[in-house]
């Protein structure tokens, strides 16, 4: 298994190196956002308004963290199902978003945009939320604070582990890997 | 509406008095414990799966899940950020008399208290979508049973797995092959979204509403305990084998361990139908039970 240690912001060269099935350990600033935050960003773009976060070279993690326990910078923070963000994702990729992290399958439209925009989709291990929170060293809501856990979070990752599912070359681990282990 | 007046043939009975305050305290503890500590039967099944799993990536995922469970238990933090909308199964012995307030309100108060430090994942209205702010109300199923005990079981389910669950009203003559096809299809369609390795709850029979509840109740059964009816125990084994032959694997990243267990619960049904429901439980299956 190939491993990559990457730091945000990311370049095209960073994402073009990633192949479906590789492990990535991400460090640096990343943004946490889920359903309603995506809906609001899409509305802002439609109205021609600026987005509350930068996108070029950035990472969005689909997450709604639990409240932090004392001594922890963030509560358990595992990935949520990415497919719900599909309808809002392509315009973000077109504005330079390089990596999205979640779990579960993406739409054909998103997969094609990943190739076109030289971006990648990664899966974090769903259900390993306490362990993943250990790789987030700082967390604060930066936009849409009225949404509580559904706000946009500014996170600082420290070697946050995720596996490449859809790469910028059309590779799709959710398609290829089960086929390799299926029995008639 | 017709009101039937039936004479109550009253014999003196001394009911067992149970304070709803003690129910509240018990449910707070039950919820707090089960979100941080996964059941031992699940963890041993996970350990066995780590040994058996053919995919190196799959084994790594299973190891992360085991490490996560250990960390959450040790640090007393939730294993998963999605602590769901709590589902409570309340079995009340018919000789119980509740005092000190309203049982329903006590259950809501318990959820409010237990979720003080957990994620608030409940919206008041499915269309208006305003967060209730305290994770109430829970989903509650009541059942009146003989005796003077109160038994409360809970499932705290993340909605990744919940959203991939399904009900199908198959026709009477569909038989076992159609049931199997449907169950495997639900698991395969769910793929990575349901966070495998899964526990697959299958309901058979009853009515449209009843079969979904059977599937959910099937998830309360500890792993390693087959259905007592031989034909259903065989169906459980065959379904598990078929599901693990799909290759979906841990987190849908490919492998031989897609499900750790299949639990089937059946109930009589109508001559016209073979209702079947599939309720999936994810890699953080939080359940617990308390008896008062």
> pLDDT at position B1, please?
73
From the CA of B139, how many Å to the nearest CA of chain A?
A: 21
Beta bridge partners of B144: B92
Whether B238 and chain A come into contact, CB under 8 Å, resolves to: no
pLDDT band at A28 (very low <50, low <70, confident <90, very high): very high
From the CA of A64, how many Å to the nearest CA of chain B?
A: 7
The ipTM (two decimal places) reads 0.94
Whether B57 and chain A come into contact, CB under 8 Å, resolves to: yes
> pLDDT at position B3, please?
80
> pLDDT at position B8, please?
73
b/e for A23-61, b at 16 or more Cβ within 10 A?
Answer: bbbbbbbbbbbbbbbbbbbbeebeeeeebbbebebbbbb
The Cα B220–Cα A3 span in angstroms is: 39
Q: Catalytic residue at A169?
A: no
Q: What is the 3-state secondary structure (H, E, C) of A21-87?
A: CCEEEEEEEEEECCHHHHHHHHHHHHCCCCCCCCCCCCEEECCCCCCCCCCCCCCCCCCCEHHHHHH
From the CA of A69, how many Å to the nearest CA of chain B?
A: 7
Which B residues, 1 through 30, put their C-beta within 8 Å of a C-beta on chain A? none
From the CA of A21, how many Å to the nearest CA of chain B?
A: 8
Q: In B, which residues are within 8 Å of A131 by CB distance?
A: 64, 67-68, 71
pLDDT band at A73 (very low <50, low <70, confident <90, very high): very high
pLDDT tens for A80-135 read: 999 999 999 999 999 999 999 999 999 999 999 999 999 999 999 999 999 999 99
- Mean pLDDT, rounded, for A11-18: 97
> pLDDT at position A149, please?
86
Q: Looking at the partner chain, which of B67, B80, B129 has a beta carbon nearest the beta carbon of A129?
A: B80
The answer to whether the Cβ–Cβ distance between A67 and B119 falls below 8 Å is yes
| Nearest residue in A to B250, CA atom | A125
Q: In A, which residues are within 8 Å of B79 by CB distance?
A: 76, 127, 129-130
Q: In A, which residues are within 8 Å of B54 by CB distance?
A: 181
Q: In B, which residues are within 8 Å of A181 by CB distance?
A: 54-55, 247, 249, 254-256
Whether B123 and chain A come into contact, CB under 8 Å, resolves to: no
Q: Of B163, B251, B259, which to mutate for an interface test with A (greatest number of A Cβ within 10 Å)?
A: B251
> pLDDT at position A1, please?
79
CA atoms within 13 A on the CB side of B168: 17
Decide if pLDDT at A55 tops 90. Answer: yes
Cβ contact B166:B278 at 8 Å: yes
Backbone φ, ψ for residue B74 (5° rounding):
-65, -45
The Cα B93–Cα A128 span in angstroms is: 38
Please tell me which residue in A4, A38, A135, A169 is annotated as part of the active site.
Answer: A38
The answer to whether the Cβ–Cβ distance between A182 and B246 falls below 8 Å is yes
Length of chain A: 184
Q: In B, which residues are within 8 Å of A2 by CB distance?
A: none
Which B residues, 200 through 229, put their C-beta within 8 Å of a C-beta on chain A? none
> In the block, which residue shows the tokens 């305003």?
B130
Whether B102 and chain A come into contact, CB under 8 Å, resolves to: no
> pLDDT at position A23, please?
98
The Cα B142–Cα B221 span in angstroms is: 18
> pLDDT at position A155, please?
97
From the CA of A178, how many Å to the nearest CA of chain B?
A: 4
| Nearest residue in B to A65, CA atom | B81
Q: Over its length of 292 residues, how does chain B's per-residue pLDDT go in tens digits?
A: 788 877 777 776 788 999 999 999 999 999 999 999 999 999 999 999 999 999 999 999 999 999 999 999 999 999 999 999 999 999 999 999 999 999 999 999 999 999 999 999 999 999 999 999 999 999 999 999 999 999 999 999 999 999 999 999 999 999 999 999 999 999 999 999 999 999 999 999 999 999 999 999 999 999 999 999 999 999 999 999 999 999 999 999 999 999 999 999 999 999 999 999 999 999 999 999 999 9
Q: Which two tokens stand for residue B163?
A: 């959203």
């Amino acid at each position: 298994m190939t491993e990559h240690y990457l730091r945000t912001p990311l370049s095209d060269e960073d994402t073009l190196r990633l192949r479906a099935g590789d492990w990535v350990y991400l460090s640096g600033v990343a943004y946490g956002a889920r359903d309603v935050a995506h809906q609001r960003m899409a509305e802002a773009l439609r109205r021609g308004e600026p987005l509350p976060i930068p996108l070029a070279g950035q990472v969005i993690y689909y997450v709604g963290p639990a409240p932090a326990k004392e001594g922890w910078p963030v509560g358990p923070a595992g990935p949520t199902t990415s497919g719900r963000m599909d309808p809002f994702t392509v315009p973000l990729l077109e504005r330079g978003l390089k990596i999205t992290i979640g779990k579960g399958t993406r739409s054909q439209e998103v997969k094609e945009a990943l190739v076109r925009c030289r971006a990648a989709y990664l899966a974090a291990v769903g259900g390993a939320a306490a362990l993943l929170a250990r790789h987030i060293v700082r967390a604060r809501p930066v936009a849409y604070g009225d949404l509580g856990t559904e706000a946009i979070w500014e996170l600082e990752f420290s070697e946050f582990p995720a596996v490449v599912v859809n790469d910028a070359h059309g590779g799709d681990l959710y398609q290829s890997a089960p086929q390799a282990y299926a029995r008639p | 509406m017709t009101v039937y007046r039936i004479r109550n043939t009253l014999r003196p009975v001394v009911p067992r008095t149970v304070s709803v305050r003690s129910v509240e305290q018990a449910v707070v503890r039950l919820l707090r414990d089960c979100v941080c500590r996964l059941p031992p039967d699940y963890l041993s099944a996970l350990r066995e799966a780590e040994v058996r799993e053919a995919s190196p990536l799959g084994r790594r995922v299973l190891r992360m899940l085991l490490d996560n469970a250990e960390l959450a238990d040790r640090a007393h933090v939730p294993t998963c950020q999605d602590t769901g909308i709590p589902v409570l199964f309340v079995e009340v012995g018919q000789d119980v008399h509740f005092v000190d307030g309203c049982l329903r309100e006590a259950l809501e108060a318990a959820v409010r208290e237990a979720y003080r430090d957990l994620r608030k994942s409940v919206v008041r209205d499915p269309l208006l979508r305003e967060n209730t702010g305290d994770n109430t109300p829970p989903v509650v199923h009541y059942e009146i049973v003989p005796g003077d005990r109160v038994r409360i079981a809970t499932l705290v389910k993340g909605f990744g797995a919940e959203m991939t669950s399904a009900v199908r009203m198959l026709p009477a003559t569909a038989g076992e092959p159609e049931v199997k096809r449907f169950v495997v299809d639900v698991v395969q369609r769910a793929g990575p979204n349901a966070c495998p390795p899964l526990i697959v709850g299958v309901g058979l029979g009853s009515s449209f509403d009843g079969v979904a509840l059977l599937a959910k109740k099937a998830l309360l059964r500890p792993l390693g305990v087959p259905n007592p009816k031989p034909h259903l125990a065989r169906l459980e084994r065959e379904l598990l084998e078929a599901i693990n032959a799909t290759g979906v694997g841990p987190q849908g990243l490919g492998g031989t361990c897609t499900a750790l267990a299949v639990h089937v619960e059946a109930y009589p049904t109508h001559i016209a139908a073979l209702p079947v429901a599939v309720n999936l439980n994810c890699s953080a299956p939080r359940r617990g039970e308390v008896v008062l």
